[in-house]
Structure 1
Amino acid sequence: MTPVVELVEHAPSVSVALPDAVGRALAAGDVLDTAPDPYTPGRWTLRAGSKVGAVAVAVPGADEPFTVRVVPKTPIARLFFLLGYSLDPKGGWRDGEVEVAEHRDLLPALAHAVERQVDRALRQGLLQGYRATEETALVVRGRIREAEQIRRRFGAALPVEVAYDEFTTDIAENRILRAAIERLLRLPGVPRDVRRRLLHQRARLVDVTAVVRGQPLPDWRPTRLNARYHRALRLARAVLEDASAEHAPGGLRIDGFLFDMNKLFEDFVTVALSEAFRGSVHTCRFQDPHHLDEASAIRMKPDFVLYGPDRRPCAVMDAKYKAEKRGGYPDGDLYQMLAYCTALGLGEGHLVYAKGNAPHAAHRVRHAGIVIHQHALDLDQEPSGLLGDIITIARHMTEA
C-alpha cells in the first residue's frame, strides 16, 4: 500500500492499491470521491473535489498512516490572501506578511501561519481578563449564592457557595489559541521545525484550560483590549471550525484538515464586495433568505443581495468556484440566477466565477428582458488586481 498519495483538486481520478477498510473509511468520510476500481480488485479510484489539505487514515498494524494530500490549483500565497481577506478585510494578510511561499502543501503553510500569528499575539505576554467563576470555598469571596447555599448546605455556615470574577489568563481568547495549536499538533504532515515552534507556543499556554474535543468553542468578541490577538484568533477559528476531518468510521481513525475552496471563494467574493460598497447608501446581506413562489414554500438564499436606500433589492450575486470549460459555464447557474432575479424583481443578475476565458459576458433572457452577467476572477493575479476586479463587478451591479 502506498503510504502517501498526492492529488490535485478537480483533477482526473487515480487508481491506488488500498485495503478495503481504508477505502471505505475515505468514502464514508466525505473527503474524496472514492469507489472500488471495477477492473482491478484491491484498488480504489480516488478523485479530489473542491476540498484541499491533508487527511490520514490510521491503519491497524501499519507503521505509518495512509495519507492523502490534495494540492490546490491556486498558489498557496494567493489562497492565504483570500482566507485572510475574508476573515478580516482590514487586517487580512498581504503578500510577504505570512511567509508561506516556501510551502507547496496547504497544511504545512497553515501550521506555519498559525504559529507565526500566535507568536505575534503573545509577544507582550498572555492576555488577561475577567472570568466568571462559581465554586465552593471556605472563605467568602465575591458574593454568596444564597439559593445554592440553602439547597446544598441546609443552613450550615461553611463551606460557602460563592460567585466572583477572577482576573486570569484562563480566558476564551487563550483557550481558542491553545485549541488550534493542539489540533495542528495532531495532524499529519506538519514539518518538524514548525511542530517544534508549535510545542513552544503550547508551553506558553500551559496554564490555560484545554478545550475538550467535541465541545463548543468559547465565545470571544473583538475589542480594543484584545486587538493584538485578532488575526491569530480568526485564523485559529478557521482551523477549528468546519474544516476538520476527524472521525472513526468502521474503527479506523481519520484525522486531517481540509479547506473547502467553494466556501473560501464565496466568502472572499462576498466580503470583498461588501467592502467595495462600504460608505455608500447601499446595504449588503449574505445568504439572505427569500422565496421563489407566492406561497413562500420554495426557499432560496443568494450569496449576496444588495439593497438600496429604500431597503429594496437592487442587485443579486452568486459566487461559483468553477472554471469555464470548453463548452462554457454550466447552464444550471443561469437558470438559478434567473430564478433569483424573477423572485426579487430585478432586471439584472451577476454570477462570479473563479476563472474564465473572458472577464465578462452578458446574456439577455428571451421574453423576460432580464440580463445575466457572468464575471471571471483570475485568482493567479496579484491581490491588487483581484480587488480591482471586485470593484469593477461592484460598478456593474449599480449601473442597472
Structure 2
Amino acid sequence: MSGLEINLVEHARPVSQRLPDEVGRALATSRIVEATPDPYLPGHWVLRASSKVGAVAVTVPGQEPVTLRIAPKVPIDRLFFLLGYSLDPLGWRDGEVEVAEHSELLPALAHAFERQVERALGRGLLQGYRTTDETGLVMRGRLRETEQIRRRFGVSLPVDITFDDFTTDITENQLLRSAVDRVLRMPGVPRAVRARLMRQRTRLADVTPLIRGRALPAWRPTRLNRRYHHALHLAWTILTGSSAEHSSGALHIDGFLFDMNKVFEDFVCIALREALLPYGGRGSLQARGVHLDEAAAIRMRPDFVWYSDQGAPLAVADAKYKAEKPEGYPEADLYQMLAYCTALGLAEGHLLYAKGSVPHAEHRVRHGAVTLHQHALDLAQPPDSLLAATHALAHRLAHGAGIRADITHGCHEPVGPCRRTPP
C-alpha cells in the first residue's frame, strides 16, 4: 500500500511523527496506540504502542493513506506458538504454522492461514446436513404446522416446511469463507499470498458468508472435520481477534490487531491447566463464583483457579503481561492477589509475568498467613523450554497445596499438611 508507513514496537519508546490531525485524533480515539499532539513540533503526533500488535490502515479522502504497523517483542514464530497452543494444546506440534520468511505479523498470519486452508480444502469442501426452514409450493421434508396455521389460516399453498439439506454451506465452511474475506481486507498481505487466498475464496464462492457483527456460530471438533481443525482454529482467532474497523464521516480505519495481554493470559492459563492434569482436580479459567465479601456483592474473576475434585480451591494464579519497569512489579498486582487469596481462603497466590531474567520473588504478608509469589516467563525461549517452565510452575502450585502427582494412576494424593487456611 502506497502512502505514509509508520513502524512501532510494542511497549517501546514513543516516536514523533508528522500526521494529519484527523488521523492523529482517530488513532487516539480508537486507542490503538497512545497518541498525543507533539507540543514542540506543530503537525506532529507522539505515538507509543502498548500491548496491541498488528497493522491498521487509516484513509482520509484527498490525503495519502497511513499504514501503522506494530511489531511484537517476541519472535513471530513464538507468537504463533502461543496462539496455537492456547487453541489446541494437544495438537500444537502437528499444527505448528509455517511463517515462511515473513518477519512481520500480518504477512505471516496471512501465509499461515492460507496454508492451513489449502490443507483443509485440498480434498474438496466438507459437506454436512443443515436444517433449513422455507416457504414453497412443493412439499419437502416436514410441515411446520404451527407456522402454516398461524400464517396461512388453513390455505394449503404455499407450505411452510423444514428439511435437512446435505450441502457444503455448513458452519465450518462459513467460518473459513468469512476468515478468508477478513484476511483479504488486511493491510500488507503479500501479493503472492493474496493471489492464493483469492483461489481459496473461489473454492468457497457458494458458501454463505457470516454476517459481520453477529455472534459466530459454534463448531465442534469431530472425526469428520479433522482435516479442518487447524484451519478452523486460525479462522476463529482471525474472526474473534481485535479487529480495528471504524468509520467516522469520510475517515476509515481498517486492520487487525492482537492484544498481547490476552495472548499471554490465554497461554498461561491453558498451559497451567494442562500441566496440572496429573495432579487431579480441575482448572478454571476466568473463575466465576468468587466474591470478596460475605454478602457476595463484590465479584472477582481470577485468571486461573485450581479446584479439588470436591470443589475446594487449591491454588490461584493471575497472568500479567506488562512492559518491564525499572521500579519492578506494580504493587497493585500484589494487592489484587492478596484479595484473591483472602476470598478463596488460600495461603499462597501466584502472579505470572511475561518477562525474562527476573528471579522468583516471594512476599510474606505481615500479620497474616499469606505468601505472594511472583514468577517470570521468558517468552523468547523455545516452545519446549517454555512448556517445561510452566510445568515447573504447576509443580510449585501443587507443592504449595500439599498435592503430588501420581503419573501412573492419574490421581493425586496429599504430601503433608496443606498450607491452605479454612475458607
Name the TM tier (shorter chain): over 0.9
Superposition deviation, residue 91 in structure 1:
1.4
The letter for the 1-side match of 2:89 is P
**Which residue in 2 is equivalent to 1:318?**
318
d(CA) in 2 for partners of 1:101, 1:337? 41
Aligned positions of 1:109-124 closer than 5 A: 109-124=108-123
**Which residue in 2 is equivalent to 1:132?**
131
d(CA) in 2 for partners of 1:207, 1:29? 35
Superposition deviation, residue 329 in structure 1:
1.2
Distance change (3 Å), C-alpha of 1:330 and 1:336: same
d(CA) in 2 for partners of 1:109, 1:369? 49
Which of 215-224 and 74-83 deviates more? 215-224
TM-score normalised by length of structure 1? 0.95
Superposition deviation, residue 93 in structure 1:
4.8
Q: In the TM superposition, what whole-angstrom CA distance separates every residue of 1:113-166 from its partner, at most 9, and x where no partner exists?
A: 111111111112101111111112221110112232233334333322211000
8 Å Cα contact 1:2-1:17 kept in structure 2: no
SS of aligned partner of 1:248: strand
Q: Does 1:329 align with 2:329?
A: yes
Q: In the TM superposition, what whole-angstrom CA distance separates every residue of 1:261-311 from its partner, at most 9, and x where no partner exists?
A: 000000000000111112432211011131112222222111000112332
**Which residue in 2 is equivalent to 1:285?**
284
Aligned positions of 1:29-178 closer than 5 A: 29-62=30-63, 64-93=64-93, 97-100=96-99, 102-178=101-177
Superposition deviation, residue 397 in structure 1:
0.3
8 Å Cα contact 1:29-1:249 kept in structure 2: no
Superposition deviation, residue 381 in structure 1:
0.7
8 Å Cα contact 2:3-2:65 kept in structure 1: no
d(CA) in 1 for partners of 2:74, 2:239? 22
8 Å Cα contact 2:61-2:250 kept in structure 1: no
TM-score normalised by length of structure 2? 0.90
Long gaps (5+) in structure 1: none
Which of 384-393 and 301-310 deviates more? 301-310
8 Å Cα contact 1:98-1:113 kept in structure 2: yes
**Which residue in 2 is equivalent to 1:14?**
15
SS of aligned partner of 2:160: strand
d(CA) in 1 for partners of 2:327, 2:382? 28
**Which residue in 2 is equivalent to 1:355?**
355
Give the CA RMSD over aligned residues: 1.7
Q: In the TM superposition, what whole-angstrom CA distance separates every residue of 1:176-196 from its partner, at most 9, and x where no partner exists?
A: 000000011111100101101
The letter for the 1-side match of 2:32 is V
d(CA) in 2 for partners of 1:340, 1:332? 13
Superposition deviation, residue 215 in structure 1:
2.7
Distance change (3 Å), C-alpha of 1:237 and 1:143: same
Give runs of ≥4 in structure 1 deviating > 4 Å: none
Q: In the TM superposition, what whole-angstrom CA distance separates every residue of 1:331-373 from its partner, at most 9, and x where no partner exists?
A: 1111111111111111111111111433422121111131111
d(CA) in 1 for partners of 2:94, 2:60? 40
8 Å Cα contact 2:147-2:160 kept in structure 1: yes
